[in-house]
Amino acid sequence: MASDGHRRIDVEEAGDVTIARFVDKKILDETKIQIIGNQLFALVDEDGRKKIVIDFTNVEYLSSAALGKLITMDKKVKEARAKLRLCSIRPEIYEVFAITKLNKLFSIHDDQEKALEGF
């Protein structure tokens, strides 16, 4: 786990699916983004999890650096032959995904329940 010990994501299990929920409302700070990235990557690299849902319920702001971490996460997940879904993204944040065409890259669902369906 991150050396400073601050969890930036809460992780829970729903059957064989891992749900990672962001703790922070604003994901803008470079250091936090680094930690978030490391914690997300560890789910795949260290824990070998195969089904991951990233829940954006708490997130109000997301920087482009944070999007970069999500793209890297997507690559790691694909390399590990795992699956990644995103859920509960606010409309104003979803707009950024749409503008950057990331809504095509990621499997995005309205809420956690829908993200878990048929996983």
Residue 74 resides in a domain: yes
Residue 97 resides in a domain: yes
Please indicate whether residue 41 or residue 5 has the higher confidence score (pLDDT): 41
Instruction: Report the pLDDT value the prediction gives residue 96, as an integer from 0 to 100.
Output: 93
Instruction: Report the pLDDT value the prediction gives residue 5, as an integer from 0 to 100.
Output: 56
CB contact at 8 A, 38 and 76:
no
- Band of residue 7 on the pLDDT scale cut at 50, 70, 90: confident
Residue 118 resides in a domain: no
**Number of structural domains, the chain?**
1
Instruction: Report the pLDDT value the prediction gives residue 6, as an integer from 0 to 100.
Output: 80
Residues spanned by the domain of 48: 9-110
**Pair of tokens at residue 119:** 């996983």
Q: What is the pLDDT of residues 47-95, one digit of tens each?
A: 999 999 999 999 999 999 999 999 999 999 999 999 999 999 999 999 9
Residue 54 resides in a domain: yes
Q: What is the pLDDT of residues 8-37, one digit of tens each?
A: 999 999 999 999 999 999 999 999 999 999
Query: Which CATH number covers residue 18?
Result: 3.30.750.24
